[in-house]
Amino acid sequence: MLTEIREKTQGTFAWVILILICVPFALWGLQNYTDGGQENAVIIVGDKEFVQRDVSQAYAQFKQQYAEMQLPEEMLQKQAVEKLIRDELLLQHVTAENLSITDEAVRKFIASLQYFQNNGQFDKKQYETLLGQQGMSSAQFVNRIRKALLMEQYQKAVTETSFVSEQDIVRFFKIQNQSRKIEYATIKVTPVIAEPSAEDINAYYQQNATTFQTAEQVSVEYVELSISELMEDVAPTEEQIENYYQDNIELYSAKERRKISHILFAKTKDTTEEQALAKAQAAQLRLAQEAFAVLAEELSDDTLTAKNGGDLGLFVVGGMDPEFEKVAAKLALDEVSKPVKSAFGYHLITVTELVPTETKALAEVKEELIQAVKRTEAETVFYELGESLTELSFENSDNLLIVSEDLGLKIKQTELFTRDSGSTVASEAAIRNIAFSEAVLQGNNSEPVELGEDRLVVLRLLEHQPSETKALTEVQGVIVAALQNQQAKDKAQQEAEKVKQALQAGATITEAVKELELTVGAVASLRRDSKEVSWPVNQAVFKAAKPVSGKSTVIVVDSPQGDQTVVNLLSVTDGRQTNDDKEKAKLAQANIARALGESDYAAVIDGIRVSTKVVIR
């Protein structure tokens, strides 16, 4: 678990991943990274102060990365704070060292971010719109991207310079292909029939009283306002349907699909603008007898698209030169333009695929329109009644009758449910949470609970059954079984300990288990991937210390069921690399190098930290 966290946190592309996460989520982490405000600092790194808001945002980002792992909150919080500190240490270091990165590298990285792309191409308009929504200028964003790439570049310079020697690989396979000679015997848990004493039963009951408590339960009555139910009362007129269709015509229209190709005659230091135009005009004459794609492959200075017949893909407004777009948008299918001037030179443009805009007739989508109108009308009523529901339930907090009568909402009831589970409306966590709130338990109406965007519920307590400890007579059978099970496990552990002591005293394993009449197993060459013994036993064997001075190592392995396996480790044989290990050797070399690189990087950051003031409040 910790290894995965370390790999995700310190990986070579950690900062790049962080940027990718931040961009679609309002860039809030980056924006607050430099905005201090008037709050008191909770973390200080050098001359940089982080307020609680910064830490909370860093934690939210960090938690999102590990959402699928379900890690303890405390661990996530500590790791998030540590990452925040280490990233700031690195940022201050690369800044102090005056490291730099080219404008071209920054530009390429930003252009590669999918959030700024439209149909696979960088969309400047989308880029400016997204930044504008966050109140951030392009210069500010570029500056932050530059810092992040600098940090990533420095990290790669450390992590990717580690190397693995031949001796390291030899040592790896010495351990990886190691074999161990063992003898073993398993002591099974045998059921205990003897009845525990009344004193033991009572003592267990008192010590584990909390495990015998019933779950606190409540039932509630409630009124529910929902858009789906309100829609049933709406009967749209033909006029409403027609108006909705006209107002939302774009929803029922397929946009024009236009695919274009071009041939570029570039203006360079060796080719003047006039020469480029002359080339374009000459090529235009040849197109009367030759295919556009063939000429593009032969003549186009856009080498990237030339090999595909000049194909530029689907035409998207905003990603190209304005004059180029103006011409491309008006061409008919297979029509070739006159030479078009741009900042790069002159282009010949053609449309290779054209699907015109198509709008579905009202009759085709009438059923869809009816539902849309019904929902629109129901939403209006929903928000109006929602305000009334809030006011009435607050003003008449001791009952739901007035709310029910004034708004025409039926009062419904639930069965008893717990904090953790319930049926019908109580299957919603939000309902269970508010049902057990102090206000509701005191007899008041709840605040309106939003269930999605189309349901609103107000509830009040119907019945409350507090948690209570079950009587001893109710749970005596469970206690007896638990005590008997524990006695059986204790007996197995005691027998295993006797066998272990006998082996350590010099007895053979056959002698040590003779009284127990156990079967002795033996594996002359146990490997890490062997299946002669269970996986837990195999792991324990390879964690055990090597025998010293001819004296075997004895271990006892406990199973979840309580069975005890006594293992006598007799000898260890070092492994060696075989002809079948070539692929494994490559993987091992890469993994070891990565581990060493990450270790070196951690050491570098630790060194920076020693000479930097770091305060955590």
pLDDT tens digits, one per residue of 90-133: 999 988 888 888 888 888 888 888 888 877 788 888 888 788 77
Return d(Cα 579, Cα 504) in angstroms, integer: 39
- E strands, 72-229, are 117-118, 121-122, 179-187, 217-226
pLDDT over 90, % of the chain: 57
Backbone angles phi, psi at 206, to 5 degrees: -70, -40
Are 9 and 61 in contact, with CB atoms under 8 Å apart? no
End-to-end CA distance of the chain: 27
Q: What secondary structure letter does DSSP report for 319?
A: S
Are 133 and 24 in contact, with CB atoms under 8 Å apart? no
Give Dmax over CA atoms of the chain in angstroms: 108
183-242 tens-digit pLDDT: 999 999 999 888 999 999 999 999 999 899 999 999 999 999 999 999 999 999 999 999
134-193 tens-digit pLDDT: 677 888 888 888 888 888 889 888 888 888 888 888 888 898 899 999 999 999 999 988
Asked whether the predicted pLDDT for residue 365 surpasses 50, the reply is yes
Amino acid 215: pLDDT: 92
Amino acid 67: pLDDT: 67
Amino acid 70: pLDDT: 67
| H-run or E-run covering 180 | strand 179-187
CATH of the structural domain 2-159, one choice from 3.30.230.10, 1.10.4030.10, 2.60.120.920, 3.20.20.370: 1.10.4030.10
Amino acid 318: pLDDT: 64
Place of tokens 């009816």: 370
Return d(Cα 125, Cα 22) in angstroms, integer: 19
Amino acid 15: pLDDT: 40
Asked whether the predicted pLDDT for residue 526 surpasses 90, the reply is yes
Asked whether the predicted pLDDT for residue 10 surpasses 60, the reply is no
Residue 311 — pLDDT band, cuts 50, 70, 90? very high
What single-letter amino acid sits at 438? E
442-491 tens-digit pLDDT: 999 999 999 988 999 999 999 999 999 999 999 999 999 999 999 999 99
Asked whether the predicted pLDDT for residue 408 surpasses 50, the reply is yes
Return d(Cα 253, Cα 364) in angstroms, integer: 12
492-523 tens-digit pLDDT: 999 999 999 999 999 999 999 999 999 999 99
Cα-Cα-Cα-Cα torsion 519, 523, 527, 533, nearest 10 degrees, comes to: -10
Amino acid 29: pLDDT: 34
Residue 4 — pLDDT band, cuts 50, 70, 90? very low
Asked whether the predicted pLDDT for residue 433 surpasses 90, the reply is yes
Return d(Cα 69, Cα 79) in angstroms, integer: 14
Asked whether the predicted pLDDT for residue 249 surpasses 70, the reply is yes
Return d(Cα 50, Cα 39) in angstroms, integer: 9
Return d(Cα 457, Cα 417) in angstroms, integer: 17
119-130 tens-digit pLDDT: 778 888 888 878
Give the length of the chain: 617
Return d(Cα 12, Cα 8) in angstroms, integer: 9
CATH number for region 256-356: 3.10.50.40
